[in-house]
Amino acid sequence: MTIKTVKIAPFDGQKPGTSGLRKKTRVFMQDHYLAAFVQSVFDAIGGGEGKRFVVGGDGRFFNRPAIQTILGIAAANGATEAIVGQNGLLSTPAASNLIRQNRTDGGFILSASHNPGGIDADFGVKFNAANGGPAPEGLTARIYDATRSIEGYRILAADDVDLGSVGESRLGGMTVRVVDPVADYLALMETLFDFDAIRRLFAGGFTMRFDAMHAVTGPYARAILEASLGAAAGTVVNAVPSEDFGGGHPDPNPIWAKPLMDLMMSDEAPDLGAASDGDGDRNMIVGRGAYVTPSDSLAILAANAHLAPGYKNGLAGVARSMPTSAASDKVAEKLGIASFETPTGWKFFGNLLDAGRATLCGEESAGTGSDHVREKDGLWAVLLWLNILAARGQSVARIQNAHWTEFGRNYYSRHDFEAVSQAHANALVTGVISRLDALPGQVFAGMTVERADEFAYRDPIDNSLSEHQGLRIWFAGGGRAVLRLSGTGTEGATIRLYLELYRAEGSIPGQDTAEVLEPLRQAVLELAGFARHVGRVDPDVIT
């Protein structure tokens, strides 16, 4: 086996976004494109000599060839070991766990998360650091710098490594260890949750549907929910990972997991419905007739986490991304623990988790997790819910209603305007930024602006400053609107509009979320000039 050095010129636009480098699959399939990025990661971390890495992905189209390329580059850069999920599969939280348990120098996770997969869909690569979490901003900046000055990459000329069976093989000077993707993750879950109590719950007739959305959590959910916890066979549906996720969006929300939502709102609903995304880090929780927003889920989990053995001593703090509703802040306040508001993206939780300042973290985009790994974790959230349901012996709806009565309710909705031209999206955002100082006191569609700012975050651990993290507008009467541009899209710009209205008295009888938020929606549409800049006021997706 020989090491080849391939001379190349830099590719434009290899800047990692909210969650790694995400592009159209065909972009990644261009000669040298993936290799250039992977070599840049090695260059940014001071080379691969003597280092060990975890490698795996969500099984989407191009997962397997991409893994072979990464293995060849790792070996040629002097890495001594690669731990790879069998058949190239690893959920993002399981990869994070393997990095931590094996104390590797980091890991490559191949996924475009909840984006569709296939040759004409999306692909992505994330590099996670030795703490198991997404590369922090400083590292992604160094990676991006490296992509702009790269002159070539090193790769081992060798046959493909067999990833189909568990065991060890050699690739040049590197050991490739193929592992069962589920085993270590299941063992970790057993340390956190009362598996016996959950077994008794299922044995007592509790019913559930878990929609794996043809993505990576299928094997995990089958092994954990059905084989270990005794949920009925068939509880996990769409359980076989497919390269194009059955042609759908593997995104666990009421839009893309509509069949599950429909079931949960019907007379045939089981006690619990849940779903996860392409790479297994997101989750959706829905009770019989009761959808739980991710923001509320974080708050309810924070209020009840002590019922699970792994959290019986309480939480150090709760962190949420800025656009996430403030429901979890109310819980933290009552528990007398810290709450943190960070920019969008899991990487911003890493320092808080490493420093032991936060135990639970969550995002409105269906991400919830804890300090057990350094990624959000879909199945973990489902298991914590199951543990709480087993301990309280109440339905999801009852727990949620009691929560709103105790803490008040944060009505919440996100509106996404997709594939907007970059110029129009920028014009809308810069238009609001230029008027931020003048907004307080102005009235839009009958609502008065109280405050407005552009969110910046000073990391309390390393003191780094992250600016331009979204626009916040507060209205008289308890409403908040947030505007920001997506950092994960692969086509044009996506404008996200987040609406939130707090009601201390809890639910308003007879009004659904859309009705409650309508005045706020009208106000911000007018304020930002959606009709003028985007040419429409109706979003593509409402979650």
**432, burial (CB in 10 Å: exposed 0-12, middle 13-18, buried 19+):** buried
18 interface partner picked from Zn ion, ligand G1P, none, CB below 5 to 8 A per type: ligand G1P
Q: Which is nearer to Zn ion, 251 or 500 (CB)?
A: 251
Q: What angle do CA 359, 362, 364 make, to 5 degrees?
A: 170
Which range in 179-187, 252-260, 360-368, 404-412 contacts ligand G1P by CB under 6 A?
360-368
279 interface partner picked from ligand G1P, Zn ion, none, CB below 5 to 8 A per type: Zn ion
Binding ligand G1P (rule: CB under 6 A), the pick from 87, 293, 351, 488 is 488
Binding Zn ion (rule: CB under 5 A), the pick from 105, 122, 137, 281 is 281
Half-sphere exposure of 392 (CA within 13 A, CB side): 23
- Name the minimum Å distance from CB 213 to Zn ion: 11
- Per DSSP, the residues of 72-127 read HHHHHTT--EEEEEEEEE--HHHHHHHHHHTT-S-EEEE--TTS--STTSEEEEEE
Which range in 106-114, 149-157, 262-270, 317-325 contacts Zn ion by CB under 5 A?
106-114
**CA 338, CA 332: separation in Å to the nearest integer?**
6
- Per DSSP, the residues of 228-241 read IT-PPTTSEES-S-
Q: Which is nearer to Zn ion, 69 or 113 (CB)?
A: 113
Q: Which is nearer to ligand G1P, 69 or 293 (CB)?
A: 293
When asked if residue 122 is in the footprint of Zn ion (CB under 5 A), the reply is: no
**CA 54, CA 375: separation in Å to the nearest integer?**
15
Cβ within 8 Å of residue 125, ≥6 positions away: 20, 21, 28, 34, 37, 38, 66, 108, 109, 110
Which residue in the block uniquely carries the two structure tokens 């809308």?
428
Binding to ligand G1P (CB under 6 A): which residues in 19-38? 19
| Total residue count of the chain as it appears in this document | 543
When asked if residue 113 is in the footprint of ligand G1P (CB under 6 A), the reply is: yes
In 3D, which of 231, 218, 250, 226 has the Cα closest to residue 94? 218
**Structure tokens belonging to residue 80:** 């001594």
When asked if residue 62 is in the footprint of ligand G1P (CB under 6 A), the reply is: no
Selected catalytic residue, list 91, 113, 276, 413:
113
Which range in 45-53, 91-99, 363-371, 512-520 contacts ligand G1P by CB under 6 A?
363-371
When asked if residue 426 is in the footprint of ligand G1P (CB under 6 A), the reply is: no
Which range in 206-214, 353-361, 454-462, 481-489 contacts ligand G1P by CB under 6 A?
481-489
**Structure tokens belonging to residue 45:** 């971390």
- Name the minimum Å distance from CB 114 to ligand G1P: 7
487 interface partner picked from Zn ion, ligand G1P, none, CB below 5 to 8 A per type: ligand G1P
Residue 113 falls in the annotated catalytic set: yes
Q: Are 133 and 374 in contact (CB under 8 A)?
A: yes
Question: How are the residues of the chain apportioned to helix, strand and coil, as percentages rounded to the nearest 5?
Answer: 35, 25, 35
When asked if residue 253 is in the footprint of Zn ion (CB under 5 A), the reply is: no
When asked if residue 363 is in the footprint of ligand G1P (CB under 6 A), the reply is: yes
Residues that bind ligand G1P (CB under 6 A): 18-19, 113, 321, 344-346, 363, 365, 367, 486-488, 496
Q: Which residues are catalytic?
A: 113
